[in-house]
Structure 1
């Protein structure tokens, strides 16, 4: 008992350290960048230089808040999906959400002119349509358990949207529309403004708060339906509520940031390494780790080269590297 209490206290201290680290990295990132060369902007210069003040508060601040929310949403969604499906290789875009958002964005670029408001709305609508189609198709499948049916329907819906995206890329103007679609698919935060951030804030905050408050439900729903029902849960209803709470903010952030991969896959693995499978601590830890990871990747994307590197490239590169290290590390066991 004493050892268990000590372990819980240690994990809470690690959680506190992660929170302090996130605040420190956020402040560091706010002052770090190219103005005019690569380096820090002092607070004294911010007070004296009107252009530096505009850069900090009108460009970097909304961008960094969006990066923080992007990492927190994708990581929390990854925890939810991996716990509910009992599969460590799924992530928030698993039920056709990411491919639906990509199809919606491409559709807007090709046929609706590609304005920022229309693109954001179209991506969000088709992301939610991906979830709805996956859920309705899963209800129609006549074999297998509920989780298996959702997996199969998610694969089918993602394939349909991917095919539609391929058709739209084929129809797009190769000189004007196709580069815009490609850039959106690579992901990035260079176009973030306060208006875009405020537009997604209600969905993101409500989704994250719901997941945080009901994170203990994930431990119950990770069990079989019979065991979960015997503990007072309604498995199908609770899974649908948690999936919706994970997908809504995911659709919102994807609509403004584009496709950013690997965050929702790799961060939950790191959080479980540090805090175990109990989502009481693992889910908030994943939110903090996701925010740290995405902000650092965004720092690299805007400072490594004179031109900005798409965020999705860096998250995929770093995420896949970390994933390989975790898989070959001595702490990972493979059962045959």
Structure 2
């Protein structure tokens, strides 16, 4: 693909998508033309009649208090999942690695479900602690020998993921009907109840970790060459991996705490970015940040507008991720160059 078109797709899409998303939803009373007309009249003329004032206030309330926090949180969640997937795939030098396969998502989901079950505060903290525990267990199992291979890490991650998913199912089994409904809806990946509270909870952890990953983006290229090659150019691979895996874990656990399990997104989106921008992480990491947020916004818009009822966003990402990997396998493009 032409580099100019690829850059427009990755970096020019976020702002238009954010604006368009404001006017997509179930409410038929929110029209972009009406809002712009009333806003222009309010600013230029200042004389709105009673009906116009009521209509303007209603539209403003829907846009600013219902749709705006959801749109911003969706963008942050998409950017975080895509970036964490790209980081893990680069570190482990495997295109099939993401936070779900390494057990981070399922561990965080179990921790957050416990917090929901017992009505505990700081759901994000419980998700991070158990998600971090999942990573530690994955490494412990894979590192039983002195040489820790990528295959052993992935296999142990799949085992840990399965265990925590079983524990999540156990939590659902012992929950009362009201808590069960909340946990099940949340586990499918859902943003329908987003408010400014959830956005505030997720904003700082995601922004800080994404900033750190952005600053470390060129080091991921060195880590992808292997530990010996990284050491030969003065990089401490153990320390850098610890920093980057911690950032990926915090990003993932934060998204799980506020949005539930959004499967496959951190697996297939980095592939799309590499197809557009190439495998150089100094370019693909910013691409994952911006296109990751924009593409999840597009999926969320479809989940809100495609049917008369809202489909959980995790269902869409699972279907799209499965279809995308079938396409890559059929075209023999599932490689790591």
Q: TM-score range, shorter-chain basis?
A: 0.7 to 0.9
Alpha-carbon distance between aligned partners in 2 of 1:334 and 1:277, rounded to the nearest angstrom? 11
Alpha-carbon distance between aligned partners in 1 of 2:98 and 2:334, rounded to the nearest angstrom? 21
Partner of 1:279: 281
Q: Which of residues 154, 161, 177 is equivalent to 1:158? A: 161
Contact 1:143 1:149 in 2 (8 A): no
Contact 2:124 2:253 in 1 (8 A): no
Gaps of at least 5 residues in structure 1 are 1-6
TM-score (norm 2): 0.86
Q: CA deviation at 1:206?
A: 0.7
Q: CA deviation at 1:91?
A: 0.9
Partner of 1:30: 22
Partner of 1:170: 173
Q: Which moved more, 1:231-240 or 1:117-126?
A: 117-126
Matched, 1:72 2:75: no
Matched, 1:130 2:170: no
TM-score (norm 1): 0.86
Contact 1:271 1:282 in 2 (8 A): yes
Partner of 2:270: 268
Q: Aligned to 1:326, what secondary structure does the other structure show? A: helix
Partner of 2:44: none
Q: Aligned to 2:25, what secondary structure does the other structure show? A: strand
Gaps of at least 5 residues in structure 2 are 40-52
Contact 1:32 1:39 in 2 (8 A): no
Partner of 2:210: 208
Contact 1:35 1:41 in 2 (8 A): no
Matched, 1:59 2:66: yes
Alpha-carbon distance between aligned partners in 1 of 2:247 and 2:316, rounded to the nearest angstrom? 27
RMSD over aligned CA atoms reads 2.5
Contact 2:30 2:59 in 1 (8 A): no
Alpha-carbon distance between aligned partners in 2 of 1:237 and 1:12, rounded to the nearest angstrom? 36
Q: Aligned runs of 1:221-260 on 2, under 5 Å?
A: 221-260=223-262
Q: CA deviation at 1:153?
A: 4.1
Contact 1:105 1:181 in 2 (8 A): no
Q: CA deviation at 1:184?
A: 1.1
Contact 2:35 2:59 in 1 (8 A): no
Matched, 1:108 2:115: yes
